[in-house]
C-alpha cells in the first residue's frame, strides 16, 4: 500500500474526465487500497481517483468518526431522489485549507460496482449524499470552486499558486 500524491487546484489534470473502469481486478483493488491509505492520511472523508492523477471512475469514502465504514464506488451513477437543495460547508483535499458553501441535493441513489465488481445500489442522505456528489464531480472534472463566485475562486487560486511556488523553492 502506498500514499499517492494528491493534485491541488489549479492543476489542470483535475479537469480530466475520468473513464469507466472496464474490469475490476487486482490492479483496481490496489488503486482502491492506496486511495484509502491516502484519504485517511490526508485526512479526508472522500477521494476520487482523479485527485491522485488516476483518471478512472473510482471513489473511496468513509464518513464515520472512527474510519470504520469504508465505501467504494466504481463507475458510480447518481439519481436524485427527493428533497430541496441544501447548502453545506465543503472542504476538498485538492483545495487544502479552504471551506466554501456549496448547494447540493441531500438525498440521492447511487448505483455502482463494489471492490469485487458486484453491482449495488445505495440510498445516501446528508453528509454521505453530499460527499458522493462532491467526489462524482471530481470524476467529471468539476471542483467545489466551480460553485463559488469568480472573485472567491481567483483568490483561492492565487493563494494556492503562491503556496505551490514557495514549496517548489524549498525543494
Task: From the candidates 8, 86, 135, 167, give the one annotated as an active-site residue.
Answer: 135
Phi and psi torsions of 152, nearest 5°: -65, -40
How far apart CA 22 and CA 42 sit, in angstroms, is 28
With the CA atoms of 17, 32, 94 and 46 taken in that order, what torsion angle do they form, in degrees rounded to the nearest 10? 110
134 labelled as ligand-binding? yes
135 is catalytic: yes
| Cα dihedral across residues 50, 52, 53, 56: positive or negative | negative
Label residue 14 left, alpha or beta by phi (over 0 means left) and psi (-120 to 50 means alpha): alpha
138 labelled as ligand-binding? yes
164 labelled as ligand-binding? no
Q: Which residues pair with 94 in a beta bridge?
A: none
How far apart CA 46 and CA 40 sit, in angstroms, is 9
How far apart CA 3 and CA 39 sit, in angstroms, is 9
Indicate the annotated binding residues for Fe cation. Answer: 92, 134, 138
Catalytic residues: 135
Amino acid at each position: 500500500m502506498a500514499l499517492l500524491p494528491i493534485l491541488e487546484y489549479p492543476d489542470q489534470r483535475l479537469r480530466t474526465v475520468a473513464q469507466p473502469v472496464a474490469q475490476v481486478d487486482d490492479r483496481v483493488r490496489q488503486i482502491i487500497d492506496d486511495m484509502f491509505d491516502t484519504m485517511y492520511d490526508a485526512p479526508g472523508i472522500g477521494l476520487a481517483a482523479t485527485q491522485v492523477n488516476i483518471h478512472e471512475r473510482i471513489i473511496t469514502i468513509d464518513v464515520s468518526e472512527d474510519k470504520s465504514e469504508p465505501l467504494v464506488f466504481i463507475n458510480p451513477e447518481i439519481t436524485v431522489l427527493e428533497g430541496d437543495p441544501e447548502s453545506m460547508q465543503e472542504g476538498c483535499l485538492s483545495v487544502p485549507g479552504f471551506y466554501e458553501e456549496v448547494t447540493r441535493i441531500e438525498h440521492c441513489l447511487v448505483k455502482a460496482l463494489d471492490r469485487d465488481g458486484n453491482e449495488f445500489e445505495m440510498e445516501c442522505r446528508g453528509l454521505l449524499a453530499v460527499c458522493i456528489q462532491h467526489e462524482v464531480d471530481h470524476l467529471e472534472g468539476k471542483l467545489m470552486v466551480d460553485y463559488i463566485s469568480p472573485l472567491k475562486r481567483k483568490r483561492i487560486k492565487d493563494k494556492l499558486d503562491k503556496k505551490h511556488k514557495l514549496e517548489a523553492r524549498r525543494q
